[in-house]
Structure 1
Amino acid sequence: MDNSKKTPEIERYSGQFDQTDWSSAYCNVEKECTNIKLKLISGQVPPRLKGSFYRNGPGKLERNGQWVHHPFDGDGMITLMRFNNGEVTFSNRFVKTQAWEEEEKADKFLYRGVFGTKKTGLAISNFGDVRLKNIANTHVVKLGNKLLALWEAAGPHALDPETLETHGLSSLNGALSPKEAFSAHPRFDPGHHKDPRMVTFGVSTGPKSTIRLMEFATKGSNAGNLISDRKDSFNGFAFLHDFAITPNWAIFLQNAMDFNPLPFIIGQKGAAQCLSSKSDGKGKFWLIPRHSGSFSNQPAKIIDAPDGFVFHHLNAWEENQSVIIESIFYKDFPTIGPNEDFRNIDFNQLPAGILKRCRINLLTNETEQETLSTQCCEFAMVNPYFQGLSAKYCWMATAAKNIGNGPLQAIKKLNLINKGSCEWSSSPRGFVSEPLMVPEDSTGNEDDGWILVMTWNGKFQTNELVILNANNLSHQATLEVPIKIPYGLHGSWSDS
């Protein structure tokens, strides 16, 4: 049943949100829990929903009175919500990285953050210290019998998927060399070439950038083993957080960025604060043939991309002689300056993320673009079984108002064909993180399943887990989370 027929944009709450409600979610996680049964506030947990919902995000934002400059610099903390027979249990653990252990013992920042956090002490102590602290805070995925906490500038940390105990840095059975970068945004191929696999990458940046494209088995006795591997080099500095896949291609968008390392080297700025958009630059699509596809022995393709900055892609697929990719575009790179407080940012001064579709003609190397939704959005996803295929629906977190930037307060289901939509909103005093679509099975309708989303209730100063019907976003259940958790980044689902 399609409950997102083409209708005018929904009239949304347009009043001014309370900045204190929004910023009050930023805090340190003060407690680690083990298998606590979540209290049901309303509704009923669907009994057919069985499995584990993992989330990652910054859990340590302040040490001895000093706050991180940007929440992206906070140490990673994993949550696990296990669903079974209509009940949900909750566990959480910090990722015990070497740097986390050192800073816990010292009760101060011993490392600089990529997004501007400085070491505790005199400003001169930051001069010349270009070490990167692996904060393992961006994503969490299960690969074989290990849970991986990901941060894209370094290697993954392996955790026990049941207890969340940290086992240390992982080389993935020797696939990674020490200190090698490993993406925090893998894509899971549902089985375009018989067997499902995890497709991911690492990038070495500079005047010339090299992408290492890797594919890992996810099922059977060889789960976790590297099964394909290639490297491609491109001119220019690469700032890449995400990519997309089709059966034949891995698609990257090289944002038109400059990197001036001097302020980072002398201790004035974090590495990410040294990025700026090229006013006369042009972004590029890099299309790398997948080893399992029809063009595996061919070189990568380089094609001009539309103007704008992209963190996240929704999906991609192939159609005739074209590759279509859907992405969230910003007019410029959104950043928090050295003298700004992230808890008091003015959303009106930051560019809004807008979902757009690019059609890349592989014969002419020309690209056409169309806007799919004018509403500010982030964290968009399709049904995982449609990864790399033409999908009819997507689900995403959005601002509460129709136009302009704002905090994420609603979940929107968008029909990608006729652009009809429906939504569930937590405004005016609620705020959402990334929604996760859990399909009921691989054989039903594309929108059969559930949406899981962690929210922040500004009125009651608490986190809540909300379960929605993926078909029409009708409310299924709300459960109370026993501890306060800052806004998270990415999460994943593992069937029981």
Structure 2
Amino acid sequence: MQSVFGKNGTETPEPVKAEVKGKIPGWLQGTLLRNGPGLFSVGDSAYNHWFDGMSLIHSFTFDKGEVYYRSKFLKSDTYKRNIAANRIVVSEFGTMIYPDPCKNIFSRAFTHLCKAIPDFTDNNLINIIRYGQDYYAASEINYINQIDPVTLETVDRINYRNHIALNLATAHPHYDDQGNTYNMGTAIIGFGRPKYVIFKVPADASDEEKRQPALRKVKQVCSIPFRSILFPGYFHSFGMTENYIIFVEQPFKLDILKLATAYFRGVNWGNCLKYDEDDITLFHLINKHTGKAVSTRYYGDALVTFHHINAYEDEGHVVFDLIGYKDSNLYQMFYMENINQDAKDFIQSHKSFSPPVCKRFVLPLNIEKDSPEGTNLVDLKDTTARAVVQKDGSVYCQPDTLFEGLELPGINYKFNGKKYRYFYGSRVEWSPHPNKLAKFDTVTRKHVEWQMENCYPSEPVFVASPGAVEEDDGVILSSVISPNPNISPFMLVLDAKTFKEIARASIDASVHLDLHGRFIPASI
């Protein structure tokens, strides 16, 4: 696996035409942008964690039945500094760099204590997001890097803090039917009382003539105080319906003091996250139009979640689906020493890790003040999820288990925030590298899979057919790599209805396993 997942990627700066087998629908016109780690060592120095690798942006352009591939490293300040020094000089999630041999001197430690939280790396390797009509490489830091979606050139670096009081922000925003972008971040230091912040960037925020960033029109929707000032809950994504934002404040927490002192204490930022299995999970429900939180206190058992699947409103309830874990060991799996293990050794050393489970929670909206203790307020017929009134008037929520062993979920985004039936994802079977794709039907509770021996597909992306009415009328796109030198990397095209392969486009270039991305139709 080292030959595929541990080695450095290379750029393919000019488009390479792929060899297509099968038939790609003529209506499929546009570009699939993907982002993920692609450079794991510089000079004689190497990263400790897969999530540390420097961003490599990929594009797969579909044009009249043909596919063209190109890739470029994100030219972040981090990338430039590392390359100029010919070694890693900027710390990342799992790799702390000590360029100064006097790191234990108090004056130097104090300097880093002050700077640790405000300024992280700008290595945006997680996702491609849109604000206005601008596209950005993003991760969970205060910087985003604008890219040209055609050439993949890095255009500009944007600091959230120049536009809104944030130290961190997610790489998984939501988009409404009008094209507005909603996202969420944290204000930890320098902005008054620590809080979570939900914000909105209007669809018309871009200003190409004056080259003004879309974030100049950002508006705060609301803020939510931390329930523990020094231990905010970590979050990777959130849910959104037509009228509500759902924020899961989980007991997977960031230790602020440990984070601020990580540099001179000799620990990496990843070690500043801790899971409190004896705590509860709070579910915050915020009206996205008024910014006001629903007063009911909803909570559930301890869990860890990274990805929401979808959320919607149904007969006086808010329903939201997410991927949950019973522990926080997922990040541990991605240390390079783990993912480069032999498959059998990996299974043996990680067999106790919690598998991902697709869970459905239901929050009743219309709660009578005199509802008797012990009453289950969920009266939907298609779920076993419960929301039980407690003595103090709070509501204890227990989920309905939908499916086990799936991550990197995706849907037909036209159904985002609406009642839906299908989701797609990567099947996870004792490996940090999924080797199957799956389609799950939330009504029948059945699933179908695509698999090819010794192949590793990326997160599936749904693209709807023009004028599609049925939810699964479209195609699934996934880039596939293999450690087998006789299998070229290829773009897989599946019929979303049948989940059968209709085409693949083999690429004569180096393609790396990635994380997330988005499809940009040719008309945009």
Shorter chain as denominator, the TM-score bin is 0.7 to 0.9
1:219 deviates by 5.8
Farther-moved stretch of structure 1 (390-399 vs 206-215)? 206-215
- CA distance in 1 between counterparts of 2:469 and 2:61 reads 23
Q: Is the 8 A contact 2:164 2:218 kept in 1?
A: no
The answer to whether residue 437 in structure 2 is matched with residue 411 in structure 1 is: yes
Match 1:432 to one of 457, 472, 485: 457
Q: Does 1:474 align with 2:506?
A: no
Amino acid at match of 2:311: A
CA distance in structure 1 between the partners assigned to 2:139 and 2:362 by the alignment: 30
CA distance in 2, matches of 1:280, 1:133: 33
Mapped contact 2:132–2:179 kept (Cα < 8 A): no
Output the CA distance in 1 between the equivalents of 2:238 and 2:151: 31
The match for 1:57 is 36
Query: Corresponding residue for 1:154?
Result: 142
Residue from 182, 197, 200 that aligns with 2:180:
197
Q: Secondary structure at the match of 1:33?
A: strand
- 1: CA distance, partners of 2:397 / 2:183: 25
TM-score, structure 1 length as denominator? 0.85
Superposed counterparts of 1:421-460, under 5 Å: 421-426=447-452, 428-441=453-466, 443-460=468-485
Aligned residues: percent identity? 20
Distance 1:340 1:354 in 2: 26
Instruction: State the 1:32 CA deviation.
Output: 3.3
Deviation (angstroms), 1:159: 1.4
Q: 2:134, 2:206 within 8 Å by CA — same for their partners in 1?
A: no
CA contact (8 A) 1:360 1:368 kept: no
Residue 483 (str. 1) matches residue 509 (str. 2): yes
> Which stretch shifts more, 268-277 or 448-457?
268-277
Q: Which residue does the alignment assign to 2:123?
A: 135
Alignment of 1:142-221 (within 5 A): 142-170=130-158, 175-176=163-164, 180-189=167-176, 191=177, 195-205=178-188, 209-218=194-203
Q: 1:232–1:300: 8 Å Cα contact kept in structure 2?
A: no
Moved more, 119-128 or 336-345: 119-128
Residue 3 of structure 1 is matched in structure 2 by none
- Correspondence for 1:229: 221
- Kept in 1: contact 2:426–2:437 (CA 8 A): yes
Cα pair 1:119 1:125 within 8 Å, conserved: no
The alignment partner of 2:34 has SS state of strand
Change in Cα spacing, 1:67 to 1:171, as seen in structure 2 (3 Å) is closer
Change (3 A) 1:299 1:420: closer
Correspondence for 1:16: none
Q: Counterparts of 1:300 and 1:197 in 2: how far apart (Å)?
A: 26
User: In the superposition, relative to structure 1, how do residues 199 and 301 fare at CA in structure 2: closer, same or farther (>3 Å)?
Assistant: farther
Structure 2 residue aligned with 1:321? 316
- For CA contacts below 8 A with separation 6 or more, give which structure has more relative contact order: 1
For residue 307 of structure 1, the aligned residue among 289, 298, 302 is 302
Asked if residue 368 in structure 1 is aligned to residue 389 in structure 2, the reply is no
- Which runs of at least 4 in structure 1 moved beyond 6 Å after TM superposition? 120-123, 220-223
Q: What is the rounded CA distance, in whole Å, between the counterparts of 1:408 and 1:269 in structure 2?
A: 29
**Equivalent residue, structure 2, for 1:69:** 48
For 2:251 and 2:278, the matched residues in 1 are separated by 9
Q: 1:469 to 1:300 in 2, by over 3 A?
A: farther
Distance 1:63 1:220, change over 3 A: closer
- TM-score normalised to structure 2 length: 0.81
Shift of 1:152: 1.4
For these two proteins, the number of residue pairs brought into alignment is 462
8 Å CA contact retained: 1:306, 1:369: no
Q: Which has the higher helix share?
A: 2
**C-alpha displacement of 1:104:** 0.6
User: For structure 1, which runs of at least 5 residues remain unmatched after alignment?
Assistant: 1-19
2:54 aligned with 1:86: no
User: Per the alignment, in what secondary structure is the counterpart of residue 273 of structure 1?
Assistant: helix
Asked whether the equivalents of residues 121 and 141 of structure 2 are also in contact (C-alpha less than 8 Å), the reply is: no
- Once residues 389 and 156 of structure 1 are traced to their aligned partners in structure 2, the CA distance between those partners, rounded to angstroms, is 29
